[in-house]
Every structure is written in C-alpha cells, then in structure tokens.
Chains A and B, each alone.
Chain A
C-alpha cells in the first residue's frame, strides 16, 4: 500500500481531535483553568493525548485573546526554548515539561512569573496543580480506529483490544503498529491477517 493511502498516516492521526472522558467538556476545562489562574498541568502517560489537548487548548486560548507561546521541552534547554522574560499578556504552553531538570524548571517559573499563565504537560503530577488527567480506554482506541478506517475497513474489536494491551494504552504507538500492518497489504483482509490477535500476542512476548 502507498504511504499516502494508509489510513494511519501521521497527517490523519494528527487531525484526530482530543476526546474528553468522564463527561468533561471544553467549558468545564476552561473554567477550571481560570480557577487555577492559568497555571496548571495536563498529566498523563505517553500516548494518552496530552500534546493533542495542549495544541487544541492553545487555539482556544488564542481565540480568547491571549498571546500564546507553544513550545516543547524536547526541543532543547530552557534557555533555548523559553523566552527570557514573559509579559503579562503572554501565556506559555510547554509540552513535555519533565524533560527540563530542576534548575531549568526554576528558571522557567521565574521567567513566567509575570506571564498570564503557564500550562505544561507532564507524565506525573506535582509540577503544577493538575488541570486534567489524560487517559485512554480500549473503547476510545476502537473509536479512533473506526473513524480513521471508516466502514470499509472495520477491524475486529478483539484484535484492536490486543494491540491496545500490547502497547499498554499508548494509543500513539498502537496506531503506529496499525500503520505498519496496513502498509504491508493492499487489501483490508491482508492487514487484518497481519494484525491478527495471535500474531500480536506472539510479538508482545
């Protein structure tokens, strides 16, 4: 299969919107953020949607009139990534905050002390008050896959659950495996065989 036709290509995965769990919706999240004075952390394990949520949040906050600065701690040291001093109208959104060491974190907090806010993503709680805990479920994974492949290529739920378990709930990695399985075949039936639960279980051993 051509990469451009693979339903799990990066461009399509990046277009999947964040899906709130537990009945939370955008107004709830924004109200909580305001209550936390725009200093908060989006917490969750890898592949749980933190970056997706942060990017969507940056668009929402930009629409509310904030001057949003979105950056990633994976891009380098704090001195390279974070502006030296943030102004009152600026709101810093930092992905993968745990990549910064203790000194870098202190520098970041100092630089942002007069900013309109500081929102980070992290794997663990403790950096800032928790805004939301991101998590995935097998059902969520099945929904995302269903939307990506459409009715033509529905995949057996047992197979998807096995892939989800293999990647311990990391939806990003699970979708990458589906990309590989799909790319090896030109037909859905071939991909299903490639991604058979028995094969998936065997690979995970």
Chain B
C-alpha cells in the first residue's frame, strides 16, 4: 500500500500574499517512482467550469520508493482565497508521483487576513 503526505512548516494553512510556504513531503511506495513533484496551484469550484492555474512546481530528482523531501514556494500577491455563491477560489499544494497517478493534496488559504474572503460579507457595515 502506498502512502503520501504533505506537511507545511508548523502545520500552517493560512498565509498572506507574498509569504513563503515551506514544508516537507514524504511517500512510501511499492516501487521506485519515475518522477515526484509538489505543485502550488489554485482552482475554482462552483456553478461553472473549473479553472486551474499552476503557479509553481518543484521536482524532486532521483526519488526513492520511500523518501522525504523539503519544498519552498513564495506565494504571489493574488488571487486571494474567496467564496461567493457562484464560485470559490481554492489554493492548494499537491504532491504528484508517477507512474500510478499517486497524488495527495492539502488546501491552504491565501488572503491579507489569512482567512478565506466571503463575498457575502463585503460591504457589510459593522457597528
């Protein structure tokens, strides 16, 4: 049985634009993989067709059947993680190992507050 794991430093999931995301990935497979890489990307979910954009990827050379590697990305200034009625934009890190379509994903939040922006809250006045 294969296991894949992604962990961010101090298990952080909330980030601000421009910040650094670092951590470690590990895997245990039955066979030596041909390739292993971790990707930083965002995707949309909601009523319409899904959009995906891969912002950065880090390839791990000479991967072993059981291995652990570190990664580091710098987040861009935009887009922010947000949710409305029609669409949500979700940031994620994904470890992809081939062959075999092995993948593990964790979601992260990217915004100035570190929290997902809710479009329904925009314009609300707090007294």
Q: Contacts A9-B45, A11-B45; is A3 near B83 (CB within 8 Å)? A: yes
Cα of A4 to Cα of B88 in the assembled complex, Å = 6
Q: CB-CB < 8 A to B45: which residues of A?
A: 3-4, 9-11
Q: CB-CB < 8 A to A151: which residues of B?
A: none
Which chain B residues in 15-67 approach chain A with CB under 8 Å? 45-50
Per-residue contact bits, chain A 60-77, to B (CB 8 Å; 1 contact, 0 not): 000000000000000000
A-B contact pairs, 20 of them (CB 8 A): A1-B85, A2-B83, A2-B84, A2-B116, A2-B118, A3-B45, A3-B47, A3-B83, A3-B86, A4-B45, A4-B88, A6-B47, A9-B45, A9-B46, A10-B45, A10-B48, A10-B49, A11-B50, A183-B85, A183-B86
**Interface membership of A100, Cβ < 8 A:** no
**Interface membership of B87, Cβ < 8 A:** yes
Q: Which residue of A lies closest to B44 (CB)?
A: A3
Nearest Cβ in chain B — how far from A67, in angstroms? 19
10 nearest A-B residue pairs (beta carbon): A3-B46, A4-B88, A2-B83, A183-B85, A3-B88, A4-B45, A3-B87, A9-B45, A179-B47, A9-B46
Q: CB-CB < 8 A to A179: which residues of B?
A: 47
**Interface membership of A176, Cβ < 8 A:** yes
Cα of A9 to Cα of B49 in the assembled complex, Å = 10
Q: Which residue of B lies closest to A14 (CB)?
A: B50
Per-residue contact bits, chain A 106-150, to B (CB 8 Å; 1 contact, 0 not): 000000000000000000000000000000000000000000000
CB pair A9 B47 closer than 8 Å: yes
Q: Which residue of B lies closest to A183 (CB)?
A: B85
Which chain A residues in 165-180 approach chain B with CB under 8 Å? 176, 179-180
Chain B interfacial residues counted at CB < 8 A: 15
Cα of A180 to Cα of B47 in the assembled complex, Å = 9
Which chain A residues in 1-51 approach chain B with CB under 8 Å? 1-4, 6, 9-11
Cα of A2 to Cα of B46 in the assembled complex, Å = 9
**Interface membership of A184, Cβ < 8 A:** yes
Not counting A4-B83, A10-B50, A184-B85, a sample of 17 additional A-B residue pairs whose C-beta atoms are within 8 angstroms of each other reads A2-B84, A2-B118, A3-B45, A3-B47, A3-B85, A3-B87, A4-B45, A4-B46, A4-B90, A6-B47, A9-B45, A9-B47, A10-B46, A176-B47, A183-B47, A183-B85, A183-B86
Cα of A183 to Cα of B83 in the assembled complex, Å = 11
Cα of A91 to Cα of B13 in the assembled complex, Å = 45
Per-residue contact bits, chain B 85-127, to A (CB 8 Å; 1 contact, 0 not): 1111010000000000000000000000000101000000000
Nearest Cβ in chain B — how far from A151, in angstroms? 23
Cα of A2 to Cα of B119 in the assembled complex, Å = 9
Q: CB-CB < 8 A to B88: which residues of A?
A: 2-4
Cα of A1 to Cα of B47 in the assembled complex, Å = 12
